[in-house]
Amino acid sequence: MKTLLIIDVQNDFIPNGSLPVPNGNQIIPVINKIQDKFDLIIGTQDWHPKDHISFASNHDEKSVFDEIEIHGQPQTLWPDHCVQGTEGAAFHPDLNTEKFEAIFRKGTDKTIDSYSAFYDNGHLKSTGLAGYLKEKRTSQLYVCGLAADICVYFSIIDALNEGFDCFFIDDASKSLDIKEFETLKKEMIAKGIQIVTSRSV
């Protein structure tokens, strides 16, 4: 089963959103175009309660992009984003979601962040995605979306550790920090993740 995992193509991560990924809107036509090449398509959404611990607004005397420690893990403080039920948390209207067989929501626990589509940042609780994909007999897992250096990266690393044959679709993803992501791509390659483009999926 050849599966496409589309990470967090939500309004708040698109330019003019509350946590915009530079040129994040440019990946939408790419993702729409490749969907016919897959047997199974899964989407994910950041889905935060408004009092989420990762929001800078919920910490006195802290600013956006400050770093604190939560459960022994470093935590960047973000602008309020992808709050449950808001327009910012919705998939971008140009994204074709008709073929999504399932949608997995993450970051729902207000006490811990969840970059990965598989686990929270402390690996305390599973989203159930790994079990779902194994039950569907996914063999090849292609991952794309926003932001490449955060939620896409942590998702594909967890997918690899769960035993999936992983592919990162470079031109169907955008990063918050382009320079940082170049380093992460080298790490992904070293771990055995294949970097591909939409033309070669």
Known catalytic membership, residue 66 = no
Task: Output b/e per residue, 49-86; b: 16+ Cβ within 10 A.
Answer: eeebbbbbeeeeeeeeeeeeeeeeeebebbebbbbeeb
Known catalytic membership, residue 191 = no
Q: Which of 46, 82, 106, 120 is catalytic?
A: 106
Q: Which of 82, 144, 149, 151 is catalytic?
A: 151
Lookup: tokens for 98: 């008709």
Task: Output b/e per residue, 19-47; b: 16+ Cβ within 10 A.
Answer: bbbeebbebbebbeebbeebebbbbbbbb
Known catalytic membership, residue 8 = yes
Distance CA 139, CA 121 (A): 25
Q: Whats the size of the chain, residue-wise? A: 201
Q: Which residues are catalytic?
A: 8, 106, 151
